[in-house]
């Protein structure tokens, strides 16, 4: 069985452990993302992997299919390694499903999911993620490529071993802040280390492009998803009406 999955963790400002900084504000930030996901006619069915009993109850009440991973709202340090919650989600999802696509809440479908989506995703490599080009160095690669990092906002994994491999890599790397670093190193390791963009094509995704990476250009007419900041999400959500028109207009602007 194939499945889209999401993850939710964190605490609200009213929680006694809350700190007034942007690391702890993630749960509040995804509030509009979740509202848009619910209102978006193009959103696929999803399973949400959840940390926190209160978070679980809230998402169940909203009608989502959910799995509670831990009664605690977070199990990793919120300021040093909170994104590792995603890797645990990937581990669980690849036990529950033959293949999965993990989506960040702000990774938004702008058109219907293709009827051939899973056929395409299940071809070739068992782990796929688009590359994002950061402004600063993120991984140890040759100088021309050290800003290219595998995205963790859209991740396809078939089979449990790869999620376990990413978690093992995270531990071996000294538990880095971002989940993208062990994800990137693990995917590179499948080819004996980073080769070049041409070699990475086997792990790329046909339906999503985060950055225009020379050599990884794709047919934008096949794109489905976009990754948007809170201002665009807020604009798409608006007053909760006319969302389809706004999504369609954005799709046209982006030539998706």
pLDDT tens-digit series, residues 31-86: 999 999 999 999 999 999 999 999 999 999 999 999 999 999 999 999 999 999 99
Those residues with Cβ within 8 angstroms of residue 125's Cβ, 6 or more apart along the chain or in another chain: 190, 202, 203
Q: For residues 48 and 59, is the Cβ–Cβ distance under 8 A? A: yes
Per CATH, which fold does 2-253 belong to? Spore Coat Polysaccharide Biosynthesis Protein SpsA; Chain A (3.90.550)
Q: Where are the domains of the chain?
A: 2-253
Query: What predicted TM-score, i.e. pTM, was given to this entire model?
Result: 0.94
- Does residue 116 register a pLDDT over 90? yes
Nearest Cα neighbor of 112 from 204, 45, 34, 211 is 45
pLDDT (average), residues 89-113: 97
DSSP 8-state assignment for residue 15: S
**Residue 146 neighbours by CB distance under 10 Å:** 15
Backbone angle region of 147, left / alpha / beta, with phi > 0 → left and psi within -120 to 50 → alpha = alpha
How far, in whole angstroms, is CA 195 from its chain's centroid?
24
C-alpha 254/C-alpha 126 separation (Å) is 29
């Amino acid at each position: 069985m194939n499945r889209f999955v999401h993850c939710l963790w964190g605490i609200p400002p009213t929680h006694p452990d809350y700190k007034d900084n942007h690391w702890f504000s993630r749960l509040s930030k995804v509030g509009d993302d979740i509202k848009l996901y619910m209102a978006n006619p193009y959103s696929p069915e999803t399973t949400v992997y959840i940390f926190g009993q209160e978070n679980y109850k809230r998402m169940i009440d909203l009608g989502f299919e959910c799995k509670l991973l831990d009664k605690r709202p977070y199990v990793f340090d919120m300021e040093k390694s909170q994104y590792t919650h995603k890797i645990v989600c990937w581990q669980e999802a690849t036990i529950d499903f033959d293949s999965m696509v993990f989506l960040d809440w702000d990774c938004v479908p702008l058109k219907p999911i293709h009827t051939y989506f899973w056929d395409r995703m299940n071809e070739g490599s068992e782990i796929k993620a688009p590359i994002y080009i950061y402004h600063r160095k993120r991984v140890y690669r040759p100088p021309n490529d050290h800003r290219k990092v595998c995205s963790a906002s859209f991740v396809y994994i078939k089979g449990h071993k790869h999620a376990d491999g990413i978690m093992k890599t995270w531990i071996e790397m000294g538990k880095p802040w971002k989940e993208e670093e062990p994800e990137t190193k693990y995917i590179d390791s499948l080819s004996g280390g980073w080769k070049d963009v041409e070699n990475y094509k086997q792990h790329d995704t046909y339906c999503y492009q985060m950055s225009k990476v020379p050599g990884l250009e794709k047919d934008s007419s096949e794109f489905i998803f976009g990754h948007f900041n809170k201002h665009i999400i807020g604009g798409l959500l608006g007053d909760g009406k006319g969302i389809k028109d706004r999504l369609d207009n954005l799709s046209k602007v982006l030539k998706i």
